[in-house]
């Protein structure tokens, strides 16, 4: 492998000064070649001078130079920007070569992880494409696509197999070693990962270093105890598990280190894997795994569908075959995999992407294939990491970018994440006792909010022993503050509307979804002047290319404290859905909260069993599992100030209001209005 790598680098070094390709393409290939040589310079530096021997400023400069080309201020003139590439090179070649440069940029983390094979594979791909342009005639587009196809197909068993190992095997310790062994007082460690380091990561690490150890301990305790409680509530034996997947954004290492120590007391070792960077393992623009700052969200969005260059039925079959073989190879680790513990961040400026005609997009047929792959890969994963034997937890903290009052907001979020669970449990049980009497719930917006929804409820057979809603306190889903159920789809009708919402790092304005029998029949938003672009945006990023999705969850959020904090600091549009969903009623599109674990018996704190876990889609798992799950679950919240009414309607037509005009009116819930009164 060393010999292959050196031969490739020698060839690439000569490309910088060659004139063997047409003038139209020369600047592109020389630009990418120079980038590869920058990566090689890092490789040589690491061989001769380890990270710990470098100064903070040296590492910061190195990091900037590697990422500068795709930063927002430089992106308009970057070949990674498909618009620029198309203008400079032409439509068909420009799209392909922009993809190629993006794939080559994945070498940044590879060089820090010392993945010589990955670097060699990428460099050889670059040379193979370059050779095509050295011929007298311009290369055939089909030939270029064939090269990319076989790159993805041939090396799928390298990239995907390694990816699955990283997910389940705690012996993959690249990131764990950084967290546990670095001097966290020297912020140079942030550059050891090879991720982009922004002022957010530096500011977060500085702030955490300023906090007393007892605050760090409390943050870690809430996070790890939420994880443990999730297993306890679900009746899953945590002692049989070996590995917890820890996800975070750079800067939180001081808390993560303490959390890893807490998990060790539970018998769990961490698997900490990087958010995917190559086209074979990425899932659109989503960051699943640890990551640094995002140098440019538009860049990620522009390349979210690059797999369209090679996605076909044969490739999907190949990928699923590799996936199965990998899980079989690591089946013992997979069986011991307990699930993810996620520490999310928020506070960045809301991102509303530009839809570029030059960006590669999936065809309608490829969208269907993508849905098929998600379905089959979900089933395959569940064979080895059983849904009814795993759990999770999620918590979120702000980034410095949230504003000048960052430290105050951070303290407020710590307070929100540690609210009195006993108080909320009692108040929420009062709400559930009324909901359990209902035939349906009626949710109506106010002002310009056009929400008007009837949500059908499961009919209890033994009310003294059973309940429809789960009483959610601070366990898997931190902070406290919601009651939720899987609604009955048939008869769940109406319009869901919210003026502004932030879903999976994308902002939606005036989002409107129409439901009939619990399934989406129409959707639109006002992000774009062209209504069809808005529909495409929603289908890609909310429906995940499905023609429709069911309402998998209906919940009532009770965390008025979080709502008031959002209003006080004017950060409503920056709250993650994890917290935002607790600040009003919310509706999840896709799978239920109990997907893959419906047979687990779950009880509220009062001993009543939660029986509303299925709907008419998820129950199909008993006949054909491929029809039961969608592998997505997106929560959409209506804030209190856009809410006119939430009422329970009984079989005899009696209406029992829970909220009116954004305030709790049910007897026993008045304490929730105290925070609203203070506002």
Residue-wise pLDDT for 502-513, tens only, equals 887 788 999 999
Query: Based on the domain organization, do 383 and 483 belong to the same domain?
Result: no
Query: Based on the domain organization, do 149 and 174 belong to the same domain?
Result: no
- The helix-helix angle for 406-417 and 560-568 (nearest 10°) equals 180
Domain boundary among 393, 428, 455: 393
3-state DSSP assignment of residue 90: coil
Q: What is the pLDDT of residue 495?
A: 98
Strand partners, 337: 243
Query: Based on the domain organization, do 385 and 497 belong to the same domain?
Result: no
pLDDT (tens digit per residue) in 115-159:
999 999 999 999 999 999 998 889 999 999 999 999 999 999 999
Helices of type H across 195-267: 199-210, 213-234, 253-265
Question: Pseudo-torsion of CA 212, 217, 218, 224, nearest 10°?
Answer: 160
Short-list 392, 391, 397, CA closest to 412: 397
Say if residue 474's pLDDT is above 80: no
Residue 630 lies in a domain: no
Residue 399 lies in a domain: no
Residue whose pair of structure tokens reads 């928020």 in the numeric block: 346
Confidence class for position 576, pLDDT limits 50, 70, 90 = confident
Does residue 436 contact residue 589 with C-beta atoms inside 8 Å? no
Query: Based on the domain organization, do 430 and 500 belong to the same domain?
Result: yes
The percent of residues above 70 in pLDDT, for the chain, comes to: 100
Q: What is the pLDDT of residue 577?
A: 85
Mean pLDDT of 274-281: 97
Return all residues near 205 (Cβ < 8 A) that are at least 6 apart: 184, 187, 190, 250, 251, 252, 253, 254
pLDDT (tens digit per residue) in 382-403:
999 999 999 999 999 999 999 9
Q: What is the pLDDT of residue 631?
A: 87
Q: What is the mean pLDDT of the chain?
A: 95
Return all residues near 140 (Cβ < 8 A) that are at least 6 apart: none
Short-list 103, 95, 149, 490, CA closest to 310: 149
- The helix-helix angle for 156-168 and 141-154 (nearest 10°) equals 40
Does residue 589 contact residue 520 with C-beta atoms inside 8 Å? yes
Mean pLDDT of 201-207: 98
Does residue 661 contact residue 640 with C-beta atoms inside 8 Å? no
Residue 265 lies in a domain: yes
Does residue 108 contact residue 67 with C-beta atoms inside 8 Å? yes
Q: What is the pLDDT of residue 476?
A: 82
Strand partners, 523: 513
For 504, phi then psi, to 5°, come to: 50, 45
Residue 408 lies in a domain: no
Residue 626 lies in a domain: no
Domain boundary among 129, 154, 179: 154
Query: Based on the domain organization, do 216 and 357 belong to the same domain?
Result: yes
Short-list 124, 140, 72, 86, CA closest to 360: 86
Say if residue 288's pLDDT is above 80: yes
Domain boundary among 117, 133, 154: 154
Short-list 477, 422, 483, CA closest to 230: 477
Give the number of other CB atoms < 10 A from CB of residue 53.
9
Query: Based on the domain organization, do 147 and 169 belong to the same domain?
Result: no
Say if residue 27's pLDDT is above 80: yes
Residue 410 lies in a domain: no
Confidence class for position 309, pLDDT limits 50, 70, 90 = very high
pLDDT (tens digit per residue) in 390-448:
999 999 999 999 999 999 999 999 999 999 889 999 999 999 999 999 999 999 999 99
Confidence class for position 349, pLDDT limits 50, 70, 90 = confident
Mean pLDDT of 629-638: 92
Residue 674 tokens, joined: 């105290």
Cis peptide before 479 (omega within 30 of 0): yes
Does residue 484 contact residue 555 with C-beta atoms inside 8 Å? yes
pLDDT (tens digit per residue) in 617-629:
999 999 999 899 9
Short-list 59, 13, 18, CA closest to 36: 13
Residue 288 lies in a domain: yes
Query: Based on the domain organization, do 356 and 299 belong to the same domain?
Result: yes
Q: What is the pLDDT of residue 652?
A: 96
Say if residue 551's pLDDT is above 90: yes
Per DSSP bridges, beta strands 337-346 and 609-610 are unpaired
Which structural domain range is residue 580 located in?
Answer: 420-595+635-678
Confidence class for position 350, pLDDT limits 50, 70, 90 = confident
Residue 481 tokens, joined: 């503050």
Say if residue 254's pLDDT is above 80: yes
Short-list 656, 482, 641, CA closest to 558: 482
Query: Based on the domain organization, do 664 and 589 belong to the same domain?
Result: yes
Query: Based on the domain organization, do 279 and 385 belong to the same domain?
Result: yes
Q: How many domains does the chain have?
A: 3
Does residue 243 contact residue 338 with C-beta atoms inside 8 Å? yes
From CA 217, how far away is CA 537, in angstroms rounded? 41
Asked whether the whole model's pTM tops 0.75, one would answer yes
Confidence class for position 352, pLDDT limits 50, 70, 90 = confident
What's the Cα-to-Cα distance from 550 to each of 284, 512, 614, rounded to whole Å?
Answer: 22, 15, 12
pLDDT (tens digit per residue) in 52-69:
999 999 999 999 999 999
Q: What is the CB-side half-sphere exposure of residue 584 using CA atoms within 13 A?
A: 31
**Which contacts (CB < 8 Å, 24+ apart) does range 613-621 have?**
613/486, 614/486, 615/486, 615/487, 615/488, 615/489, 615/518, 615/550, 615/552, 616/488, 616/489, 616/490, 616/518, 617/489, 617/550, 618/486, 618/552, 618/591, 618/592, 618/594
Measured CA angle at 447 (ends 445, 452), to 5 deg: 25
From CA 230, how far away is CA 244, in angstroms rounded? 13
Return all residues near 135 (Cβ < 8 A) that are at least 6 apart: none
Query: Based on the domain organization, do 642 and 497 belong to the same domain?
Result: yes
Query: Based on the domain organization, do 141 and 177 belong to the same domain?
Result: no
What's the Cα-to-Cα distance from 114 to each of 2, 13, 50, 66, 648, rounded to whole Å?
Answer: 12, 20, 12, 16, 59
Q: What is the pLDDT of residue 249?
A: 98
Residue 493 lies in a domain: yes
Which of 76-85, 327-336, 470-479 shows the lowest per-residue confidence on average (mean pLDDT)? 470-479
Residues in the chain: 679
Per DSSP bridges, beta strands 393-398 and 337-346 are parallel
Task: Quote the DSSP letter at residue 514.
Answer: E
| Strand (E) or helix (H) holding 407 | helix 406-417
Residue 614 tokens, joined: 């299925």
Query: Based on the domain organization, do 191 and 173 belong to the same domain?
Result: yes
- Top pLDDT among 596 and 76 is at 76
Task: Quote the DSSP letter at residue 423.
Answer: H
3-state DSSP assignment of residue 637: strand
């Amino acid at each position: 492998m060393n010999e292959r790598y050196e031969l490739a680098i020698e060839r690439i070094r000569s490309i910088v000064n060659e004139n063997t390709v047409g003038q139209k393409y020369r600047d592109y290939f020389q630009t990418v070649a120079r980038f590869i040589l920058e990566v090689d310079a890092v490789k040589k530096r690491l061989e001769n001078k380890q990270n710990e021997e470098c100064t903070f400023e040296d590492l910061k400069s190195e990091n900037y130079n590697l990422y500068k080309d795709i930063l927002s201020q430089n992106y308009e003139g970057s070949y990674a920007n498909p618009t620029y590439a198309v203008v400079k090179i032409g439509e068909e070649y420009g799209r392909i070569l922009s993809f190629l440069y993006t794939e080559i940029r994945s070498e940044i983390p590879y060089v820090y992880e010392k993945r010589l094979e990955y670097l060699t594979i990428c460099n050889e791909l670059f040379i193979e494409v370059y050779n095509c342009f050295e011929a007298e005639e311009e290369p055939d587009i089909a030939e270029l696509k064939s090269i990319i196809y076989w790159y993805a197909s041939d090396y799928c068993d390298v990239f995907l197999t390694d990816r699955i190992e990283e997910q389940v095997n705690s012996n993959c310790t690249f990131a764990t070693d950084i967290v546990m062994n670095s001097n966290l007082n020297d912020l140079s460690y942030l550059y050891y990962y090879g991720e982009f380091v922004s002022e957010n990561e530096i500011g977060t690490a500085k702030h955490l270093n300023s906090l007393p150890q007892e605050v760090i301990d409390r943050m870690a305790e809430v996070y790890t105890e939420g994880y443990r409680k999730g297993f306890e509530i679900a009746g899953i034996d945590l002692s049989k598990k070996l590995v917890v997947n820890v996800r975070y954004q750079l800067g939180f290492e001081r808390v993560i280190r303490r959390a890893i120590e807490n998990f060790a007391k539970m018998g769990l070792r961490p698997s900490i894997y990087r958010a995917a960077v190559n086209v074979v393992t990425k899932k659109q623009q989503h960051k699943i795994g640890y990551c640094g700052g995002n140098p440019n969200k538009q860049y990620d969005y522009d390349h979210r569908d690059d797999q369209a260059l090679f996605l076909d039925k044969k490739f999907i079959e190949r990928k699923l075959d590799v996936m199965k073989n990998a899980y079989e190879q690591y089946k013992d680790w997979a069986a011991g995999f307990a699930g993810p513990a996620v520490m999310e961040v928020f506070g960045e400026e809301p991102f509303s992407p530009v839809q570029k005609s030059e960006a590669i997009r999936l065809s309608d047929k490829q969208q269907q294939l993508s849905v098929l792959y998600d379905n089959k890969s979900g089933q395959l994963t569940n064979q080895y990491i059983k849904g009814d034997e795993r759990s999770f937890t999620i918590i979120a903290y702000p980034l410095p970018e949230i504003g000048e009052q960052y430290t105050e907001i951070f303290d407020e979020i710590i307070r929100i994440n540690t609210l009195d669970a006993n108080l909320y449990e009692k108040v929420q049980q009062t709400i559930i006792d009324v909901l359990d009497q209902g035939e349906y719930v009626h949710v109506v917006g106010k002002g310009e909010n056009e929400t008007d929804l009837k949500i059908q409820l499961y009919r209890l057979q033994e009310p003294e022993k059973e309940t429809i809603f789960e009483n959610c306190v601070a366990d898997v889903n931190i902070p406290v503050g919601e009651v939720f159920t899987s609604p009955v789809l048939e008869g769940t009708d109406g319009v869901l509307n919210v003026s502004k919402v932030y879903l999976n790092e994308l902002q939606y304005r005036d989002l409107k979804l129409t439901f009939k029998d619990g399934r989406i029949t129409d959707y639109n938003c006002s992000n774009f002047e062209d209504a069809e672009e808005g529909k495409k945006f929603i289908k890609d990023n909310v429906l995940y290319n499905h023609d429709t999705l069911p309402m998998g969850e209906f919940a009532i959020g009770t965390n008025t404290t979080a709502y008031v904090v959002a209003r006080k600091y004017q950060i409503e549009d920056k709250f993650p859905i994890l917290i935002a969903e607790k600040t009003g009623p919310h509706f999840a599109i896709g799978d239920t909260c109990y997907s893959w674990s419906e047979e687990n018996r779950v009880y509220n704190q009062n001993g009543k069993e939660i029986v509303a876990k299925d709907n008419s889609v998820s129950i199909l798992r008993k006949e054909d599992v491929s029809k039961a799950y969608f592998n997505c679950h997106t929560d959409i919240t209506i804030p209190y100030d856009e809410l006119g009414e939430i009422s329970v309607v009984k079989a005899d037509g009696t209406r029992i209001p829970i909220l009116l005009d954004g305030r709790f009116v049910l007897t026993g819930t008045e304490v929730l209005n105290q925070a609203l009164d203070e506002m």
